[in-house]
């Protein structure tokens, strides 16, 4: 148990569907992240939030829309996805954004395995 909970664990959706991924952290952290992991590829940073404010959008297509209502919750809203978007989507949190010199560890959730048909 890492203190970061993601739901759902598995999601199958059609290209015209709208769905949302949810992440909640119970660690009192200030920074939250979305990563994408495709098979045999590096984890790819998508979005970074610090104190609810988005600080990084790594050229992610607009069909992925993040939302961070507070420091404990992070959502990823999905609409009109493509089959190549099928991947494991991982949420993570850290005390402060990594690289600030405080604590560079990310704590990951178990991920949502997404399949787009």
Partner 1 sequence: DQQVKQNSPSLSVQEGRISILNCDYTNSMFDYFLWYKKYPAEGPTFLISISSIKDKNEDGRFTVFLNKSAKHLSLHIVPSQPGDSAVYFCAALAMTTDSWGKLQFGAGTQVVVTP
Instruction: Name the site residues for partner 1 (rule: CB under 8 A).
Output: 2, 4, 6, 9, 31, 33, 35, 40-45, 48, 50, 55-56, 90, 92, 97-101, 104-111
| Cβ proximity to partner 1, 17 vs 37, nearer residue | 37
What distance in Å separates the CA atoms of residue 3 and residue 16, rounded to the nearest whole number?
Answer: 33
Q: Which residue's CB is nearer to partner 1, number 55 or number 82? A: 55
CA distance 66 to 57: 10
Q: Distance between terminal CA atoms of the chain?
A: 31
* Least CB distance to partner 1 at residue 65 (A): 19
Q: What gap in Å lies between CA 33 and CA 94, rounded to an integer?
A: 9
Instruction: Give the residue with the Cβ less far from partner 1, 11 or 50.
Output: 50
- Residue 17 or 107: which CB sits closer to partner 1? 107
C-alpha span between 73 and 113 (Å, rounded): 19
């Amino acid at each position: 148990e890492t203190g970061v909970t993601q739901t759902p664990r598995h999601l199958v959706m059609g290209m015209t569907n709208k769905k949302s991924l949810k992440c909640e952290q119970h660690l009192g952290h200030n920074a939250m992240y979305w990563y994408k992991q495709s098979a045999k590829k590096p984890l790819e940073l998508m979005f970074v939030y610090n104190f609810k404010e988005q600080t990084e959008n790594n050229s992610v297509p607009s069909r992925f829309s993040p939302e961070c209502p507070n420091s404990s919750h992070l959502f990823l809203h999905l609409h009109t996805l493509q089959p190549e978007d099928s991947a494991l989507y991982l949420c993570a949190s850290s005390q402060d954004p990594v690289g600030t010199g405080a604590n560079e560890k990310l704590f990951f959730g178990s991920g949502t395995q997404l399949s787009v048909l």
